[in-house]
Amino acid sequence: MSASSKAFNALGDPTRRAIFEKLQERPLAVVDISAGLPVSRPAVSQHLKVLKEAKLITLRTDGNKNIYELNREGILAMRNYLDKFWDDALANFKTLAENTEKENNTANK
Amino acid sequence: MSASSKAFNALGDPTRRAIFEKLQERPLAVVDISAGLPVSRPAVSQHLKVLKEAKLITLRTDGNKNIYELNREGILAMRNYLDKFWDDALANFKTLAENTEKENNTANK
DNA sequence: ACTTACGGTAAGCAAATACTTACCATTAAT
DNA sequence: ATTAATGGTAAGTATTTGCTTACCGTAAGT
């Protein structure tokens, strides 16, 4: 599973997106992330694990608190995937159009 | 559910990502998309519906064939989401750092 | 030292969702 | 006209995955 695959999978879940967006404000400890969310704290821990493995967040320990923070790496991986994806698609469609053009010309001769 | 939410959700599934990536090569009819995939043709139809609703692909009819094609709109929505997300995160962290700085200065006087 | 706060993991359950088979409508081919 | 091919939808099943409770370890506060 590629880096971007894991990231897409991770952000596929609405609760994980909510967590992700909370961390946009500031780095937060698990209790603070959990506060306000409609699921239990262990559920949040499980989601954090998925986001971490997708390299969308990082973990730093501060005493007995686990502070989670956004990780540029995963976000960039997705962005790059989308950019390249679209660029390649355009290139493919272009050569496809050219080939179709040639075929028509040949057929018309 | 926002446009990008639907798109993230859609690409959260590996089979849908496979379909999405097949369409990067060229627009394809359902039979052609289905060929090679480890799931039945109706399953593919169902996935196509989700991708279409996420504005990641579009549908064009050609005789009895339904040709699916990439849709820039959904791809761009995700890209914009990620860009804005990261920009806003940076801005938040910056003001956060400045405030912490001020607090330290005040505390030290 | 004892208690409270923090948070990860395990096991089991519940809900969501991906998949299959069956069916039907439409279009193309013979 | 009949038959093939294309593909969407429905109903039911099965798998996945998100969630909860229970538990444990570690760090901080009193």
Confidence of residue A101 (pLDDT cuts 50, 70, 90): low
pLDDT in tens, B58-91: 999 999 999 999 999 999 999 999 999 999 999 9
Spatial distance between the Cα atoms of A8 and A82, rounded to a whole number of angstroms: 11
Name the burial class of residue B38, with classes exposed (0-12), middle (13-18) and buried (19+) by CB atoms within 10 angstroms of its CB.
exposed
Asked whether the beta carbons of B45 and B11 are under 8 A apart, the reply is no
pTM, entire model:
0.91
- Nearest by Cα to A84 from B33, B74, B21: B21
From A5, A17, A83, residue closest to B8, measured CB to CB? A17
Chain B residues within 8 angstroms (CB to CB) of chain A: 5, 8-9, 11-14, 17, 21, 23-26, 70, 72, 75-76, 78-79, 82-83, 85-86, 88-89, 92-93, 96
Distance between A39 CA and the closest CA of chain B, angstroms:
19
pLDDT for the residue numbered A109 = 37
- Nearest by Cα to A2 from A78, A102, A61: A78
From B8, B70, B96, residue closest to A11, measured CB to CB? B8
pLDDT for the residue numbered B96 = 81
- Is 70 exceeded by the pLDDT of residue B104? no
Distance between A108 CA and the closest CA of chain B, angstroms:
23
